[in-house]
């Protein structure tokens, strides 16, 4: 894991955006895994401003609420089109988001996995992290080998996401999410986290034991993970000084 600590969310986002921009320039038909929520908003704004060519890019989103109409303002379909896709030259048929209204959810989950495989796998997966350590909507105790499937959100996640829906009761309890096994197959993972409310989950994920109680901790087993943090999100890390030292002393050819 490479931990990159920057003074502000924008500075941490700039590093992440450069990593993605480099990938899209080197591999114009790259397959990106994308996340929603507050964290990647800055990233999407920054990528839009970079005016990259998305015409051959394929995307797979991590998750979607079950039962929300696609057009609902809080569906992840709406989120992605509003905050990224409508602003770039992506081809509509290359965008994939789990179908929260599928008649046969298990079958549509299997088909989602199949489509990822057919696309050649995910080159780079963007991740946020929940205050409980979830990635995608893989809540604590999720199988570390899980695939795309239905999950029930924890009370904590419903509380955390109430800000988008006006109340905790209005947050759908069920979601479709890529599994942890699915995320671990991405060739590269890029996790972003900002703010003190993420500090504990980040420290456990980076420096704690690998455990399904903090699903993000499995990323310690992945060979290529970059974690872009602002100072508050890094504030519980025991080895923050070492991580800063590593970043400041990167060999020229490794600079991001």
State the residues that interact with ligand F6R by CB under 6 A. Answer: 35-39, 62-63, 128-130, 134-136
From 64, 113, 123, 132, the catalytic residue: 132
Nearer to ligand F6R, 77 or 134 (CB): 134
Q: State how far the Cα of 135 lies from the Cα of 212, in Å rounded to an integer.
A: 11
Beta pairing partners, 149: 177
Nearer to ligand F6R, 28 or 67 (CB): 67
Nearer to ligand F6R, 11 or 246 (CB): 11
Closest approach, Cβ 251 to ligand F6R, in A, equals: 31
Q: Catalytic site residue 132?
A: yes
Nearer to ligand F6R, 196 or 254 (CB): 196
Closest approach, Cβ 121 to ligand F6R, in A, equals: 19
Q: Catalytic site residue 53?
A: no
Residue with nearest beta carbon to ligand F6R: 128
Residue 145 CB contacts under 8 Å (≥ 6 apart), including other chains: 179, 180, 181
Closest approach, Cβ 100 to ligand F6R, in A, equals: 12
Q: Which long-range contacts (CB under 8 A, 24 or more apart) does 247-255 make?
A: 247/2, 247/3, 247/4, 247/5
Of 203, 193, 143, the closest CA to residue 15 belongs to 193
Q: Catalytic site residue 64?
A: no
Structure tokens at 168: 């905790």
Q: Catalytic site residue 29?
A: no
Using DSSP, state whether 13 is helix, strand or coil: helix
Structure tokens at 24: 């899209």
**Catalytic residue set:** 63, 132, 134, 139
């Amino acid at each position: 894991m490479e931990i990159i600590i920057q003074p502000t969310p924008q500075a941490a986002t700039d590093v992440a955006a450069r990593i993605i921009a480099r990938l899209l320039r080197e591999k114009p038909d790259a397959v990106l895994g994308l996340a929603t929520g507050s964290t990647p908003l800055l990233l999407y704004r920054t990528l839009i401003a970079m005016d990259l060519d998305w015409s051959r890019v394929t995307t797979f989103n991590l998750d979607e609420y079950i039962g929300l109409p696609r057009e609902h303002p809080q569906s992840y379909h709406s989120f992605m089109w509003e905050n990224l896709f409508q602003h770039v030259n992506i081809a509509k048929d290359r965008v994939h988001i789990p179908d929260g209204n599928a008649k046969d959810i298990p079958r549509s989950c299997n088909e989602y996995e199949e489509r990822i495989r057919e696309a050649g796998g995910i080159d780079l997966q963007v991740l946020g992290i929940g205050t409980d350590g979830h990635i995608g909507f893989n809540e604590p105790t999720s199988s570390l080998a899980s695939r795309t499937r239905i999950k029930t959100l924890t009370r904590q996640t419903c509380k955390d996401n109430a800000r988008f829906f006006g109340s905790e009761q209005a947050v759908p309890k069920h979601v479709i999410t890529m599994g942890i096994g699915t995320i671990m197959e991405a060739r590269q993972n890029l996790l972003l986290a900002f703010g003190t409310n993420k500090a504990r989950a980040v420290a456990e994920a980076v420096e704690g034991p690998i455990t399904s109680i903090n699903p993000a901790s499995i990323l310690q087993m992945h060979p290529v993970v970059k974690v872009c943090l602002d100072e508050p999100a890094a504030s519980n890390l025991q080895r923050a000084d070492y991580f800063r030292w590593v970043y400041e002393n990167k060999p020229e050819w490794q600079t991001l």
